[in-house]
Structure 1
């Protein structure tokens, strides 16, 4: 391997967006080009990691290059490579403000640089010339905020095909949906093997002074816990009205997606396939989370009933990973973010038609998490547990009522099909918590007790 490849191989496993942690590497290759050769220079690299199990991933790594160390960028330092004129110092270009300007410059110019092509949407002002500030809280991607005007999301793991986040935002923009942040453009890179270009990044309108849905919901829960003698509907921070409006916004997004992108009624084979997938995920989860065993038979019966249900389903494009952390409350209403779907799933699967019930189930699970996350600190407090359940039920019901009213459908959290999607999501959560936050495992397990019992 070259010195650059060695450097990247040493650095990448420590990055939050790297999804191959703990997997054994069989090899790594790199190819790159310069996007800008001013000072600092900006290069873009596609790094292909091959694993010993035969799988592989390709990651996008932009680097900024300086002729001398930059102390203010010490936390973004990647490594040094010897050149004909001495050492060249490489930094994570997404955290080097001086190296962020070229992204929007090329987008405004609709440039083609090497294999990379820039596509402005041509619908709004793009703040050319401004540097971008990195958002440090992200995991699978990396985003830069340019002033208070635009936000650029860089997709770290590359796959051939148009990213659903770009595709769906573009469709909803054409539908003039009021619950999204407008698409300003996107960037793609040609595939070296002749497959479809991969989406590198997308630029959207930035939504300043907005509040994260999770923070708003959990603040409401804290208000409830602080008022020992009041019910959820009596607390000043009652969230049910917002939950209802969020249901309305979700239904609006689903309705527009069904109008502007393909949709079709589900056939019997689809129900059987979904039931089989749910059951397979449960069986795999049992090997990781032994505590699931007490619910296994009831869950198998719940999933088996999916294959025989008569509840009508329209398959269409959906969000795919909807929860309270994916929505923002602005002064005018709710904004839905991140239509990428679950990043761990292959892109082709994320673009398949699905049921809106999967999104609804994801949001209902998120209400449970918001209500119960503080119980982790006091798991044996029956009063808090009661109040958490009261808050969750009130907000789940309000969300379903808002969705039903706006969507012209009858949506109930008691639906057997919706309950199966919720249970499937909770099983996934059990595996995640067992591997990452074992002390949080009680949250999805307690929900499965309710779901398996049909409550």
Structure 2
């Protein structure tokens, strides 16, 4: 690595057990400070190195399991400590260039790496470039397999830069040509952010950038680790555009309408790429029961929900009472204004990973496209509340325009499914309450305003808190 002296002894070849003695103390301190660490506010109670692969001398790929206990206020009845598997790229050496000091985890004080400096190798240009080169010229290293679409040319010499805004993952942009998303939380199975864009590309859908390369592991289980896609140069996400419109008092209905059309176009392509199922009364009852269970757990963690519980359960009861079969298909799974980009004079849809906290089989399950619609409607509500004074009428106009655009492209209007739409929006708002209570308490009034509205049995049009 640039500016790093290679250690004469490479004790990490001894395996994960040996390495843990050296890395445990540093990782316990460093992991909770990372944006993508899911256990914020929860101490790391245990660590285990699941796999270690040497990509070049002193450049390690590591999968680590971190256990963390829930705070008492967030712990449900009988809850066990949570755990997650995280993907790390670590550099090991005797010294590091001062300009890379933000990447440093620290100097090891014990174990086989004692005296050596450890840093986050994704922040080091040389090792970041090496990672793209492995994807450009695929091979297998230990349990890691690097693969690509040979129909696409990946040039050499693309300068890497690490994006600062990424939250649940880490992304590297290479020469403003390609973007590599590194999945920080690793789950067994193929990640939807590879599976879905690949399937959409086979359908000729150009709203979603097609994968050009990816890498995966076979140990401790088969899992997707990262994916390379074309970088939408100059792209601006919908959240940024919405806040700019609000700040300048501009209407946003035209943009919302086109977002609705883009969403419907992607849904139609997904319905062609994956099986479509008919979900009748039994599935509606199971879905409503799961939503009611999540509400019950959320009330335990956030007592402010309790006064609204009866009205919220009513929304789920209406879903349970539906008898007419509805189509279920692959969807985005976590659609909001931050997941759409305006580039090349049109909206693109990105980030098909779904909610990282949920198991992959659940994220890959066929679900109603109304779930995606509800997610975007909640996002318009968030934008309207992001700046004072709150602008509920702005959100109402955007919601209507979005649904109208969706209907124009899809041939059916999500507003014609009021019980389904209300249930999904309520379930999303309950999730938001739990998230904000854990991570951003200052934002809690935003989903709580929606909770009060949804509990009063309003229609789609009533947005006033």
Out of 443, 449, 454, the position equivalent to 2:446 is 443
The TM-score, its normalising length taken from structure 1, stands at: 0.89
Q: Residues 215 and 50 (structure 1 numbering): CA distance in 2 closer, same or farther, change over 3 Å?
A: closer
Counterparts of 1:305 and 1:136, CA distance in 2: 43
Secondary structure of residue in 2 paired with 1:244: helix
Q: Residues 424 and 170 (structure 1 numbering): CA distance in 2 closer, same or farther, change over 3 Å?
A: same
Offset at 1:346?
Answer: 1.1
Residue 59 of structure 2 is aligned to residue 32 of structure 1: no
Give the equivalent residue in structure 2 for 1:208.
233
The answer to whether the Cα contact below 8 Å between 1:400 and 1:413 also exists between their aligned partners in 2 is no
1:341-376 Cα offsets, whole Å, 9 max, x none, are 00011112111111111100000000011112113x
Secondary structure of residue in 2 paired with 1:402: helix
Out of 164, 176, 180, the position equivalent to 1:148 is 176
Give the equivalent residue in structure 2 for 1:48.
65
Counterparts of 1:414 and 1:216, CA distance in 2: 29
Out of 141, 162, 173, the position equivalent to 1:134 is 162
Q: Residues 131 and 44 (structure 1 numbering): CA distance in 2 closer, same or farther, change over 3 Å?
A: farther
Residue 372 of structure 2 is aligned to residue 359 of structure 1: yes
Give the equivalent residue in structure 1 for 2:5.
none
Counterparts of 2:259 and 2:298, CA distance in 1: 31
Offset at 1:432?
Answer: 1.9
The answer to whether the Cα contact below 8 Å between 1:104 and 1:129 also exists between their aligned partners in 2 is no
Residue 138 of structure 2 is aligned to residue 113 of structure 1: no
Counterparts of 2:281 and 2:417, CA distance in 1: 22
Offset at 1:97?
Answer: 1.2
Out of 370, 380, 392, the position equivalent to 2:383 is 370
Offset at 1:96?
Answer: 1.0
Give the equivalent residue in structure 2 for 1:93.
121
Offset at 1:305?
Answer: 1.1
Counterparts of 1:71 and 1:343, CA distance in 2: 34
Offset at 1:98?
Answer: 1.7
Out of 14, 18, 37, the position equivalent to 2:37 is 18
Q: Residues 51 and 315 (structure 1 numbering): CA distance in 2 closer, same or farther, change over 3 Å?
A: same
The answer to whether the Cα contact below 8 Å between 1:160 and 1:191 also exists between their aligned partners in 2 is no
Offset at 1:16?
Answer: 1.7
Out of 385, 388, 393, the position equivalent to 1:390 is 393
Counterparts of 2:411 and 2:233, CA distance in 1: 32
Give the equivalent residue in structure 1 for 2:426.
423
Secondary structure of residue in 1 paired with 2:219: coil
Secondary structure of residue in 2 paired with 1:157: coil
Instruction: Tell me the C-alpha RMSD between the 2 structures.
Output: 2.1
Out of 93, 100, 111, the position equivalent to 1:66 is 93
Structure 2, gaps ≥5 residues long: 1-19, 70-79, 460-465
Give the equivalent residue in structure 2 for 1:378.
none
Out of 224, 227, 243, the position equivalent to 1:199 is 224
Counterparts of 1:365 and 1:107, CA distance in 2: 37
Offset at 1:413?
Answer: 7.3
1:382-441 Cα offsets, whole Å, 9 max, x none, are xx44xx122111110000001011001122177121011111111111222223333322
How do 1:308-319 residues align onto structure 2 when only pairs under 5 Å count? Answer: 308-310=321-323, 312-319=325-332
Structure 1, gaps ≥5 residues long: 225-236, 376-383
Counterparts of 2:121 and 2:101, CA distance in 1: 12
Give the equivalent residue in structure 2 for 1:183.
211
Out of 407, 412, 435, the position equivalent to 2:410 is 407
Counterparts of 2:398 and 2:347, CA distance in 1: 16
Give the equivalent residue in structure 1 for 2:336.
323
Offset at 1:119?
Answer: 1.0
The TM-score, its normalising length taken from structure 2, stands at: 0.87
Counterparts of 2:297 and 2:95, CA distance in 1: 51
Offset at 1:203?
Answer: 0.3
How many residues align? The count is 427
Offset at 1:290?
Answer: 2.7
Q: Residues 265 and 221 (structure 1 numbering): CA distance in 2 closer, same or farther, change over 3 Å?
A: same
Counterparts of 2:28 and 2:442, CA distance in 1: 33
The answer to whether the Cα contact below 8 Å between 2:36 and 2:167 also exists between their aligned partners in 1 is yes
Residue 372 of structure 2 is aligned to residue 345 of structure 1: no
Give the equivalent residue in structure 2 for 1:227.
none
Offset at 1:48?
Answer: 2.0
Secondary structure of residue in 1 paired with 2:415: coil
Give the equivalent residue in structure 1 for 2:278.
265
Counterparts of 2:247 and 2:260, CA distance in 1: 22
Secondary structure of residue in 2 paired with 1:338: coil
